[in-house]
Amino acid sequence: MRSPDSPVLSIKGLIKDVGPLASLDGKMLRVVSGVSLAAERGQVTALLGANGAGKTTTIECAQGLQRRSGGAVTLLGQDPDTAGASLRSRVGVMLQDGGLPPSARPIPLLKHIAGMYQNPWPVDELIGRLGIDTFSRTTVRRLSGGQRQRLALAAALVGNPEVLFLDEPSAGLDPQSRQLVFELISELRDAGMGIILTTHLMDDAQRLADYVYIIDAGRNVAEGTVAQLLMRNLSTDNAQEHVRTLLFEARPGLDFTGVLPAAVDVRETRAGSYAATGALTPEDLAALTAWWAAHGIMPGSMSLEARSLEDVFLDISGREIR
């Protein structure tokens, strides 16, 4: 649920035009057309969308890195286009490309950035927390993708911000680093930080986000908690159930009419690959396996999956997110 406190970030009807572009005969291109969102303290708010959907542009307008063409943006009660150092000292930004100088070494770099603040996060504590001490003598250009991401997160956190922007934070992270980073993000959220996460990875949003805005072609297309989005477009009878998808492979062209309840959608997605989506019950599974037994069908493979945000995105936009 959205809290009644004033949000740390509020975007209303954001418009961003870029150009003029030679490819459009010198016309402007509208990359964001009316995005609205709000992010609260102590929550992870995710902006989810395909690459090129306008997520990064939206967020950069909030960070003051790009000037908006229209609409209103309020970050911690101030307009990022006109605010000064006092606002920037309360906001941490982790950029998609890191933004770290290749010749720098982690500790001097973090200490340098920490010097820009009155009350920074102690660098020694931060590097221990993010496992940076294991590569503290290596220059940025020699770090692995995951090490760079962890350093970029440390650089965003060293000012001890109230609001944290994360752009694709798990890009290039190995599973262990990902776990480390996700745990830290959850802790910071619990400590009251307002975290705004931009990602095209459904899994990140599903694991971290308290509230999700789905953006497509520069517009809001859906919003809600992860649970609300997963229940979207389902009949109210099924809303209490967890929707699942049963994937299995068998011989092509099978007709399942009458085997499963009408509310369960069964499709042959490729020849011999089937997906049954709906509020599946144990009885449905029993009916299906009994039908296989009666017809002498042994599936080549089968798996049961919870409905994911990926499915929701597909429903809404009619296309894959990637």
Partner 1 sequence: MSRVLGSAPAPLLRRILLQGRYEALTMLRNGEQLILAVVLPLLALVGLTVTPLLDGLGGTRVDVAVPGILALCAMSTAFTGQGISTGFDRRYGVLRFLSTTPLGRTGLIAGKILAVLAVLVLQVLVVGAVAFALGWQPTTAGWLPALVLLVLGAAAFTALGLLVAGTVRPEATLAITNLLWILLGALGGIVLPAERLPGPARELVHFLPSGALGEALRDAFLAGTFNGGATLILLLWTAIAGAAAIRWFKWN
Q: Which residues bind partner 1 (CB under 8 A)?
A: 63-65, 84-86, 88-91, 93, 95, 97-104, 112-113, 115-121, 155, 159-162, 187-188, 190-193
For residues 67 and 319, which CB has a smaller minimum distance to partner 1 in the complex?
67
* Angstrom distance (rounded) from CA 299 to CA 249: 5
Smallest distance, partner 1 to C-beta of residue 84, A: 7
Smallest distance, partner 1 to C-beta of residue 148, A: 11
For residues 102 and 145, which CB has a smaller minimum distance to partner 1 in the complex?
102
Smallest distance, partner 1 to C-beta of residue 193, A: 6
For residues 192 and 300, which CB has a smaller minimum distance to partner 1 in the complex?
192
Task: Map 7-39 to HEC letters.
Answer: CCEEEEEEEEEEEEEHHHCCEEEEEEEEEEEEE
> Could you give phi then psi for residue 315, rounded to 5 degrees?
-60, -45
For residues 96 and 225, which CB has a smaller minimum distance to partner 1 in the complex?
96
Smallest distance, partner 1 to C-beta of residue 167, A: 11
* Angstrom distance (rounded) from CA 89 to CA 239: 44
Sort strands 244-249 and 301-306 into parallel, antiparallel or unpaired.
antiparallel
Smallest distance, partner 1 to C-beta of residue 159, A: 5
For residues 101 and 300, which CB has a smaller minimum distance to partner 1 in the complex?
101
Please report which helix (H) or strand (E) contains residue 161, including its range. Answer: none
Smallest distance, partner 1 to C-beta of residue 317, A: 27
> Could you give phi then psi for residue 181, rounded to 5 degrees?
-70, -45
Give the single-character DSSP code of 6: P
For residues 26 and 115, which CB has a smaller minimum distance to partner 1 in the complex?
115
